[in-house]
Chains A and B, each alone.
Chain A
């Protein structure tokens, strides 16, 4: 018996800015299997009946989520369907032939339908929500100009949200809102702006003498941690979402960089060189002593980001080649995951987007932390870095 039910997709794609629709990132992401991939953790599936863009999108989404595509005879689950105008899909357990999922989509475009189906497959087979319809922001550089871009998580539908013609850096989302904070040198100096993508309203958040950068919005969206040097040294400050009520959080004679928030909003993790080499430190968002976060086995830690479930901190080890590493949020032994930098967690606390340097340019890649599989999201010319995953 088939449970063929119609499911109308509510409009899930919020319309982004219509300013410029420069499509910079190709959907045809190339597959790259890292030598460190833990193949035993990949779930074998087969994919048949889909064609063109729908097939490419589905395969990409499911591989990012920890599945591997094999023949129908060796797969644990068979995923079949079609995409003639609208996408239909079915998931069957190969052994007991039970139909686990059968869906048809009637709304939105084919690409979005494929993402929606991928999310349902992931939910059904792993019990966790998918991430195929989430957004990312990043710094994009083309012909010596950098702008902040927003795109689908796989790099498709990229749109430049700035047109400053200046150096831009460090985009960060306000949780649960279509709003970004970032750094722009539009004035000639690095200043922090907030940018509401729905209303297109842009405001200066910090424009002090010296450095204003690395904005990180608190989980409740009400406060912003940032790096300012106005008092003579790069330090962490916390202010209101609009820039007021600024409070200095650290007081060292070294420099700090890349603050991030714990998911409960109580603690800031930040990079400091105060004890000689760059390391991660925890400090209460209300102020107080900085406590060193142990990253045993991995020195020179930078760019921390707390996982949404609170369990892990992902960061970049600055070796000759940069490495993406994770460490328990309470500190401990750090694990090297792959080569790269600028990591940012997906809402699922499992997938991470990061950038890699390849022959003088940077590309964005997705890492499935559980299987260590890496897949590139960008293929076109240009350089893409500092990704931030909307949560």
Chain B
């Protein structure tokens, strides 16, 4: 009896401790902006230049945390998509942003704090290269049904896009495509593979000249 009580107490303390430690890790969000959906993006980026690609830790000033414009847990912003990019009109570059691939939690589409620097690096590159466009690919692990995952993958790509828009990228420069669970990065059915498969990839579209 006593020992049972004690273990309950122990478990409770453990939960409280872990909870408190866990809380510390979550950065305090900036002042929430109540969220009507945007219909137009901010103006064009800075003047053309051939600036270097900013690495994953790039420092672009962030004034809006896209997480903060969402009520509750995981809802996307809803900025209307621009026209369909005809891929034939572009040099499709999958290499430039290879290190910027972002990863998602299970069944979630929020850009994780640790990955924000990657999106910011992409935004910085786009601001320096105003003729370039971006295709954001959303992918899922296999633990959802196929069409559920196709929608979830799109929501992930859109969530990354919303963050880019918040960083000042014109909405029409970023388009999305969801592959659901159809293009896994790692072909395996374990947590390691799933972690790598829940991702958003950046494909740079350079106009053919």
- Interface residues of A, Cβ cutoff 8 Å to B: 146, 167, 169-170, 183, 185, 188-190, 207-211, 213-214, 227, 229-234, 252-258, 271, 273, 276, 278, 302-303, 316, 318, 320, 322, 341-342, 357, 360, 385-386
Contact = CB atoms under 8 A, between A and B. Distances in A.
A257 B151 contact: yes
Given A229-B176, A230-B80, A232-B158, A253 B70 contact: yes
B209 interface: no
B144 A318 contact: yes
| Those 10 A-B pairs whose CB atoms lie nearest each other, nearest first | A253-B75, A232-B78, A209-B81, A257-B151, A255-B151, A211-B154, A234-B151, A255-B155, A233-B78, A302-B148
Given A167-B182, A207-B84, A255 B154 contact: yes
Interface residues on B, range: 35 or more
A188 B144 CA distance: 23
Contact of B76 (A146, A233, A276, A302): A233
Given A188-B177, A232-B77, A234-B155, A257 B150 contact: yes
Given A211-B154, A257-B150, A318 B145 contact: yes
B110 interface: no
A211 B83 CA distance: 13
B148 A278 contact: yes
A234 B147 contact: no
Given A169-B146, A169-B150, A258-B145, 13 more contacts: A167-B179, A189-B84, A208-B81, A208-B84, A213-B151, A214-B150, A230-B80, A234-B151, A254-B76, A255-B155, A278-B148, A318-B148, A342-B145
Contact of A210 (B81, B143, B146): B81
B145 to A, nearest CB: 5
Contacts of A169: 146-147, 150, 180, 182
A338 to B, nearest CB: 15
B82 interface: yes
B152 A255 contact: yes
A142 to B, nearest CB: 14
A303 B148 contact: yes
A234 B144 CA distance: 16
Contact of B81 (A213, A231, A357): A231
29 contacts: A167-B179, A167-B182, A169-B180, A209-B82, A209-B83, A209-B175, A210-B177, A211-B178, A214-B147, A214-B151, A227-B150, A230-B81, A231-B78, A232-B37, A234-B154, A234-B155, A252-B75, A253-B76, A254-B74, A255-B109, A257-B150, A302-B148, A303-B147, A318-B144, A320-B143, A322-B145, A341-B145, A357-B142, A360-B189
- Of B79, B176, B179, the most chain A CB neighbours within 10 A belong to B176
Contacts of A302: 144-145, 147-148
Contacts of A208: 81, 84
B153 to A, nearest CB: 8
B147 A229 contact: no
B186 to A, nearest CB: 13
B80 A232 contact: yes
A127 to B, nearest CB: 35
Contacts of B155: 233-234, 254-255
B147 A258 contact: yes
Contact of A303 (B37, B145, B182, B183): B145
Nearest to B38: A232
A278 B177 CA distance: 21
Contact of A229 (B74, B158, B187): B158
Nearest to A355: B146
Contacts of A185: 179
A208 B189 CA distance: 33
B76 A258 contact: no
A72 B103 CA distance: 61
B51 to A, nearest CB: 28
Interface in B56-102: 70-84, 87
B72 A276 contact: yes
B80 A318 contact: no
B17 to A, nearest CB: 27
Contacts of A211: 150-151, 154, 176-178
B177 A273 contact: no
Contact of B146 (A170, A229, A255): A170
Nearest to A385: B146
Nearest to B179: A167
A188 B158 contact: no
Contacts of B178: 190, 210-211, 229
A233 B161 CA distance: 11
Given A253-B70, A254-B74, A276-B73, A271 B84 contact: no
A211 B78 CA distance: 13
B76 A255 contact: yes
- Of A211, A303, A360, A386, the most chain B CB neighbours within 10 A belong to A211
Given A210-B176, A253-B75, A255-B76, A232 B147 contact: no
A134 to B, nearest CB: 23
A357 B71 CA distance: 36
Nearest to B152: A255
Contacts of A188: 87, 177
Contacts of A303: 145, 147-148
A190 B177 contact: yes
